[in-house]
Structure 1
Amino acid sequence: MKISVERATLLKAVGQAQSVVERRNTIPILANVLIEAEGDTVSFRATDLDIEVVDKASAMVERAGATTVSAVTLHEIVRKLPDGAMVQLTDDGAAGRLTVEAGRSNFSLATLPKEDFPVMASSEYDANFSAKAPVLRRLFDKSKFAISTEETRYYLNGVYMHVSDADGGKVLRCVATDGHRLARIDAELPAGAENLPGVIVPRKTVGELRKLLDDDDTEVAVSVSETKVRFATPDITLTSKVIDGTFPDYTRVIPQGNTKKMEVDASEFAQAVDRVATVSSERSRAVKLALGEDKLVLSVNAPDAGAAEEELVVAYGDEPLEIGFNAKYLLEIASQVDRENAVFMFDSSGQPVLMREGNDTSAVYVVMPMRV
């Protein structure tokens, strides 16, 4: 194999591959990226046996072929090369070495046989549909903060993507929860997604998927089966196993009877929470919200560190209410609001709170209160 690739193109392709590779693994071949060159295209394939990513790039292929080399080492080399450099990759086949040349730089890297590289088995998909990158980006970006990191409740370690009923008919919905907060995001149901089986997309896959969704004009082909999910753009294909478990009935957690409505400027609210939380003890980071007519007083009282209080002008006309929250959860939820106003719906000091953006019900968040 002998190819020449522009440095920026190579860096992007190898960067996507090396982020999938697990740093600590007992199978040497899994630390490698499979490089396959043919025609005028080179593809870079990496896997951790749960996720597989294939990134295609344009290249000048002098001699077709394939080999595998350490993904992290190759990425580090390409990253440190000067901008605009042409990088030549040469694999002589016999010596088990890949030569990387750019200008006066020359590297020789150990390779492993391409035959040893595991390729994820293809499967039949139950649903195939296309969606614009911004639609998928919104669904996953606004829900991923609520993914649980508790390994014991593994079925919460991802985003639950499924078809659901909403006021205007069926929608494509993503939900994530860790038991303390919940995010439920809806989008118009794309054609072909009607038979979508509900799947839990793992946290790592959600992180990798984000890199495919930067370009607003990109159309992403999504394929889903009971065990796998695949996202494909013209250049990159990301295939992942889904979490084998049953996502809990989240609809029971979303309060229906919350009538006390507070409307507040989202960024002002987030900044105020951040300021008063500065003095709270890291362990609890509890912030008390005291609601009165058209005003909100945020306060923190940490006996060992000090106290803080800040008053905000809000739209609130119901009876006074005092309720406490984890500051981190409030900040994360407030940061999801794209519009100016966040609407909080309360019931009582012990009941979960509902938050949405203005009158938009396609993005709904729930957060559990805490004692303060």
Structure 2
Amino acid sequence: MKIQKTELAAKLNKIKGVVPKKGTNAVLHNVLVKDGYLIASDMAMTVKAKLAGDGQETFLIPERAFDLIENLPKGEVEFSAGRDNTIEIRADKIKNSYDTMDPLMFPKINDLEEGEELTVDATVLLESIKRVAYAIPAQATNSILTAMYLCAEDGQLNFVGTDAHVLAWDTVAFDGNFKLLIPKNTVDKLKSLGLSGEVQIRHNKSQAVFITNEYEIYTRLIEGEYLRYQGMFRELPIHTVASRAGLLDAMTRAKMCTEERSPVRFDLQGERLDLSIKDRTTDYHETVDLQECLSEPLTIGFDAKLVLETLKAFECDNVGISFDSPKMPMIIEAEDSDFKVIVLPVVLN
């Protein structure tokens, strides 16, 4: 197989994160080259990256070759597969060979020829995924929480993520009807691949595949019923509007001043938000101007890190912020989309 080093290294960098760091199945510590694709798998997720090079050879690239490929000089790279499960890599004046494994040992992919199919614009898909992904935990006692809920119903496509402390929900117009629970690892990989064009999604009860001209991402689905999240978003009596950048900057400065997990205190009154963080070494205070007068004063506390991550998930200039009482969640809403987030409060000492 002959291919340009830049093309090979770029595609390999996109998918090599799927290769498991540990595990007893040694063949998974390789990337399969087959039918013009690079293929990496950890059994739960498989990613195929289309190559522009020539040749239809089938062989495995061992993990220990990844760094060499990254550091080869620009130009053409040639791979030759030996009969004794070896590969030889040639580039410019460089030649090296590696012992590898029988490519037939690599797990086969279920092409999902049977099941439902739909198409979504990649830009729309990725924008919403990036908004809600931060709310999905890597681990949880309830596996449902480690998934993004992708649900089409009533003319809209819903993207939902929660760790039980923050609940993020975005919607876009869509004609269809389905429900998928997509694992966080797959969500993160979809974010990082830089998908473009149309994304074709095929799925059955246990698996799904996302297909573009450049990539195919196969994933298992998490089974179960997602929480009834819509009813949690309701109109709250205390409402205001704030500059997202202004509030984010203030929160960033406040968090910089503490190394402890101290909550941030919001003292809200009129057209001002006085935020503060206090611990053994810090007593930080800053006032943020609000754009709408509050109907009543309120003092409430939040996990400072959660507020920061939530504000970073928004991209609009201003956000609507609503409250009920010190023991009830805050709702933050975008001014330019249907994206909204619930943030649970914490008890202030």
TM-score, normalized by the shorter chain, greater than 0.5 = yes
Which residue of 54, 76, 79 maps to 2:70? 79
Which residue of 273, 285, 288 maps to 2:265? 288
Paired residue for 2:125?
A: 136
Paired residue for 2:33?
A: 35
CA shift in 2, pair 1:347/1:267, >3 Å: same
Matched, 1:278 2:256: yes
8 Å CA contact 1:343–1:358 kept in 2: the answer is yes
Alpha-carbon RMSD across the aligned residues, in angstroms, is: 1.6
User: What is the CA deviation profile of residues 238-260 of structure 1, one whole-angstrom value per residue up to 9, with x for unaligned ones?
Assistant: 11001122222223433x14121
8 Å CA contact 1:148–1:178 kept in 2: the answer is yes
8 Å CA contact 1:55–1:236 kept in 2: the answer is yes
8 Å CA contact 1:339–1:358 kept in 2: the answer is yes
TM-score by length of 1: 0.89
Measure, in 1, the Cα distance between the counterparts of 2:303 and 2:177: 39
Paired residue for 1:121?
A: 110
CA shift in 2, pair 1:121/1:359, >3 Å: closer
Matched, 1:340 2:340: no
Moved more, 147-156 or 111-120: 147-156
User: What is the CA deviation profile of residues 202-245 of structure 1, one whole-angstrom value per residue up to 9, with x for unaligned ones?
Assistant: 01101111234354xx2111112211111111121111001122
8 Å CA contact 1:14–1:44 kept in 2: the answer is yes
Identical-pair percentage: 22
Q: Superposed, which structure 2 residues align to 1:1-372 within 5 Å? A: 3-37=1-35, 42-61=36-55, 64-70=56-62, 72-82=63-73, 84-93=74-83, 95-165=84-154, 170-190=155-175, 194-196=176-178, 198-215=179-196, 218-254=197-233, 256-283=234-261, 285-302=262-279, 304-315=280-291, 316-358=293-335, 360=337, 362-372=338-348
User: What is the CA deviation profile of residues 86-115 of structure 1, one whole-angstrom value per residue up to 9, with x for unaligned ones?
Assistant: 11101122x321001111111111121121
Measure, in 2, the Cα distance between the counterparts of 1:226 and 1:124: 13
Q: Which amino acid aligns with 1:76?
A: D
8 Å CA contact 1:128–1:221 kept in 2: the answer is yes
Q: Which amino acid aligns with 2:156?
A: V
SS in 2 for 1:115: helix
Measure, in 1, the Cα distance between the counterparts of 2:138 and 2:192: 21
Q: Which amino acid aligns with 1:66?
A: T
Unpaired segments ≥5 residues, structure 1? none
Measure, in 1, the Cα distance between the counterparts of 2:317 and 2:243: 6
In the TM superposition, what is the alpha-carbon distance from 1:153 to its structure 2 partner? 1.4
Measure, in 2, the Cα distance between the counterparts of 1:159 and 1:125: 23
Unpaired segments ≥5 residues, structure 2? none
In the TM superposition, what is the alpha-carbon distance from 1:281 to its structure 2 partner? 4.7
In the TM superposition, what is the alpha-carbon distance from 1:124 to its structure 2 partner? 4.5
CA shift in 2, pair 1:52/1:214, >3 Å: closer
Measure, in 1, the Cα distance between the counterparts of 2:201 and 2:42: 21
